[in-house]
Copies of this chain bind each other. A is one copy, B any other.
């Protein structure tokens, strides 16, 4: 075929196909050859548009970050608690839609524009709300820990759906751990909300202490 008069590929088409492959078959199932086949081209063609396979996966991860709502930080920052709460849920929802790419996302904002923008907006909103810069940095980091942690370390997904794996003699309190795989979504959603509320309540206490000494 050689060069077609109209390009067969584009970065966007590649990212879209890679995202679909990650979602349906998992991160480990993505190879350059399989991805290329899904796009109707041969493996090396991808290298005309991306330098490495990792760059493609970074772009897929960034597309997920880009779908996180940030509009709640527009207001100028009086209700920083409410904004963080809404943002955390939007972030979590985006990750829940594409759980297989989360390990790539967790590698850090790196050079991904949407990931950086997200960190930037949160930092800006917290300083605008009156948090000192060092604390604003910490809040951005700890929210990141909790939200990405909830996606990457999902409690339920971690248990095996096989009761022989959990002998009550070894784990007296996990007798029904095999139930967790079934009820996984409930546990993860409850734990996320409980943790998020606790986190924001605790930060609220620190914020009050901050305002008193000021």
Interface residue ranges, A against B (CB under 8 Å): 103, 106-111, 113, 115-117, 119-121, 123-124, 127, 134-135, 137-142, 144-150, 152-155, 157-160, 165-166, 170-174, 177, 187-188, 190-192, 194-195, 197-203, 205-206
Contact = CB atoms under 8 A, between A and B. Distances in A.
A158 to B, nearest CB: 2
A152 B154 contact: no
Contact of A153 (B108, B113, B187): B108
A105 B21 CA distance: 24
Given A137-B187, A152-B149, A173-B120, A195 B142 contact: yes
Given A192-B142, A194-B138, A170 B116 contact: yes
Q: Is the interface of A mostly helix, strand, loop or mixed?
A: helix
Contacts of A120: 171-174
22 contacts: A103-B106, A110-B159, A117-B171, A120-B172, A120-B174, A123-B174, A134-B190, A137-B155, A138-B190, A138-B195, A139-B194, A141-B195, A145-B145, A147-B149, A148-B152, A149-B150, A194-B206, A198-B201, A198-B206, A200-B202, A201-B201, A201-B202
Contact of A173 (B124, B194, B202): B124
A188 B141 CA distance: 7
Nearest to A149: B149
A103, A107, A142: most-surrounded residue (chain B CB, <10 A): A142
B174 A119 contact: yes
Given A153-B145, A194-B135, A158 B206 contact: no
A113 B170 contact: yes
Given A191-B138, A202-B202, A150 B145 contact: yes
